[in-house]
Amino acid sequence: MLGSFVYDNPTRLYFGEDSLKALAGELSKYGPVVQLICGGGSIKRNGIYDQVCAVLKEAGKTIVEDAGVMPNPTIGKVREGAKIARESGADLLLAVGGGSCCDYAKAVAASAFCDEDPWDRYYVRNMGIASGQRVLPVGCVLTMAGTGSEMNGTAVITNPETRQKLGHKFGPQGFPRFAILNPVFTYSLPAWQLSAGIFDIFCHICEQYFSGTDDNTSDYISEGLMRSVIHAGRIAVKNPTDYEARSNLMWAATWALNTLLGLGKTGDWMVHKFGQSIGAFTDATHGMTLSCVTLPYYRRMLPHGTAKYRRFAEVVWNVDPAGRDDTAVALEGLARMEAWMREIGVVLSAAELGVTEAMLDDLSENVIILEKASYKALDRAGVREILAEALRA
Ligand code: NZQ
Ligand code: ZN
C-alpha cells in the first residue's frame, strides 16, 4: 500500500447480548445530567427505552429527554438540541437509536457551546471545532446497524431550506466516547430499514474498495467484510431474529466505517454524494438512496477500473473467469450483486423514492462531484445521465 496515515480510534465498544450492563460503568465517568436522545418512538415500543432508563435511574442520573430525532436529522433540530444541552447543563449526551440519533448527538455536542451558527461553521464553511471550545461527551446505545456512526466522528445533517444534506467530520473530539452494541436491539427493525441498513454497510465498503490500483491490505479486509455482509444479509432478511446474522451485520457495519478501511486510500464516495442529493430532495431512507444509483454508477465506472471490478467479481461474487475476458467477468460480478440486492429487497429505481423526471436538473446540479473519486471523475452531464438511468430502472 502507498498511503501514509495515523490511526487512532477513541471510541470504546461494548458488544453482545449483555452489553447494556456496561452502561452503568460508563455513566459513573460523567456528571449527573444525561440528555437522553431518541427518535420517533421505536425504543418506547420495543422496551429499550425502559431498559436504558432503569440503568440511568439506578445510577441516580437526572434524565433530560430529547426525543423526536427524525431520520435524516435537520439542522433546526440540532439547534434545538444544543439549546436543551446548554439550558439543562447536560453532562453527557446519550443517543439511543440508529445513525440519525448518533449523528444528531455528535452535532449537538459540537454545537452547544459553538459561538457561531453550527450549520454555517461546520457544514457551509467546513471548519473544525474552535480551539478551546467545550464539546460535550457522547455515548450511543445502537438500535440499527448500518451507518457506522457509533464509532466515527461524522455527523450527516440536512438543511431542508437549502435542500442540502451534508456530512461533517468533527475529528477525534467528535467520536462517541463509548458505544453499546446489542444485536438483539436490532430485531424489531422494520424489513425496509433492515434492508436499507444492510445495503448501507455494503456501500460503505465499496466506496473505499473501488479506488486506487496499489496492492492494499484494506482491499483484502474489505473483501472479507463484503462476503460476511452478503451472507449475513441473506439470512437476516429471511429470519430477522437470527442472532449470528444480526451480530455479524452489526460488527461489519462498525468496521465498514470506523475509519480503518479508508486509511491509505483515496476512496470514491460518489454513490453517497448521489444519495445525499436524493435524500435532500426526497427525505428518503439513506440506504435506499444509495441502492438506486449504485448499479448505473458502477456500470459507468467499470471500463475505467476494469481490473478492480474483475477482482470484485471473482473474490466477492465467486465468478469463474475461465474463458471470459475481463469485462465479461466484471459485468457478471455486477449482475450477481444486482441479484443479491433484489434478494435483500432494496430499491433499484429512484422513482420508488419519489424522484421524478422534472426533478432531474435540480437534483443533478445538487450532486457534489468529487474530482478525486473513483477511476474516472464525472462531469455534470454524466451525473444527470446516471440519475436518469436510476429513474428508468
Ligand atoms: O425514529 P425511531 O423511532 O428511532 O425509528 C427509526 C427510524 O424510523 C427506526 N429504528 C431504528 N432502530 C429501530 C428502529 N425501529 C424499530 N426497531 C429498532 N431497533 O429506523 C428508522 C431509521 O433510523 P435511522 O437512525 O434514521 O437510520 P440509520 O441508522 O440508517 O441512520 C441514517 C442517518 O445516518 C446518516 C444518514 O445520512 C442518515 O441521516 N449517515 C451517517 C453516517 C456517519 N455518521 O458516518 C454515514 C452514513 O453514510 C449516513 O450518511
Ligand atoms: Zn451510508
Q: What integer pLDDT is reported at residue 198 of this predicted model? A: 99
Q: What integer pLDDT is reported at residue 165 of this predicted model? A: 96
Buried b (16+ CB within 10 A) or exposed e, 251-270: bbbbbbbbbbbbbbbebbbb
Predicted model pTM: 0.98
Q: Which residues line ligand 1 (CB under 6 A)?
A: 39-42, 46, 71-72, 97-101, 103, 143-144, 146-149, 152, 154-156, 185-186, 188-189, 193, 197, 200, 257, 272, 286
Please give the average per-residue pLDDT across 250-275, as a whole number: 95
Closest Cα to residue 24, out of 52, 45, 48? 52
Please give the average per-residue pLDDT across 113-126, as a whole number: 98
Closest ligand to C-alpha of residue 254 is: 1
Give the model's confidence band at 373: pLDDT under 50 very low, under 70 low, under 90 confident, else very high.
confident
Residue type, 361: D
Q: What integer pLDDT is reported at residue 374 of this predicted model? A: 78
* 180: β partners: 14, 141
125 Cβ neighbours under 8 A, 6+ residues apart: none
Greater confidence (258 vs 4) lies with 258
Average pLDDT in the chain: 97
Closest ligand to C-alpha of residue 259 is: 1
* 247: β partners: none
Give the model's confidence band at 167: pLDDT under 50 very low, under 70 low, under 90 confident, else very high.
very high
Q: Which atom of ligand 1 is nearest to the CA of 145?
A: 29
pLDDT over 90 at 372, yes or no: no
Q: Which atom of ligand 1 is nearest to the CA of 158?
A: 39
Q: Which atom of ligand 1 is nearest to the CA of 70?
A: 1
Q: Are residues 290 and 29 in contact, defined by beta-carbon separation less than 8 angstroms?
A: no
pLDDT, tens digit (0-9, with 9 covering 90-100), for 305-340: 999 999 999 999 999 999 999 999 999 999 999 999
Q: What integer pLDDT is reported at residue 266 of this predicted model? A: 86
Please give the average per-residue pLDDT across 368-393, as a whole number: 93
Q: What integer pLDDT is reported at residue 183 of this predicted model? A: 98
Q: What integer pLDDT is reported at residue 2 of this predicted model? A: 84
224 Cβ neighbours under 8 A, 6+ residues apart: none
Q: What integer pLDDT is reported at residue 368 of this predicted model? A: 96
Q: What integer pLDDT is reported at residue 366 of this predicted model? A: 96
Count CA within 13 A, CB hemisphere, residue 251.
14
pLDDT, tens digit (0-9, with 9 covering 90-100), for 208-256: 999 999 999 999 999 999 999 999 999 999 999 999 999 999 999 999 9
The C-alpha cell at 378 is: 464525472
3-state helix/strand/coil string of 180-249 = EECHHHHCCCCHHHHHHHHHHHHHHHHHHHCCCCCCCHHHHHHHHHHHHHHHHHHHHHHCCCCHHHHHHH
Closest ligand to C-alpha of residue 200 is: 2
pLDDT, tens digit (0-9, with 9 covering 90-100), for 46-64: 999 999 999 999 999 999 9
Q: What integer pLDDT is reported at residue 393 of this predicted model? A: 83
> Listing from the earlier edge strand, what are the strands of the sheet with 178-181?
12-15, 178-181, 138-142, 92-97, 33-38, 62-66
Please give the average per-residue pLDDT across 108-122, as a whole number: 98
pLDDT over 90 at 348, yes or no: yes
From residue 329, alpha-carbon distances to 219, 270, 324, 339, 341 in Å are: 19, 23, 6, 15, 19
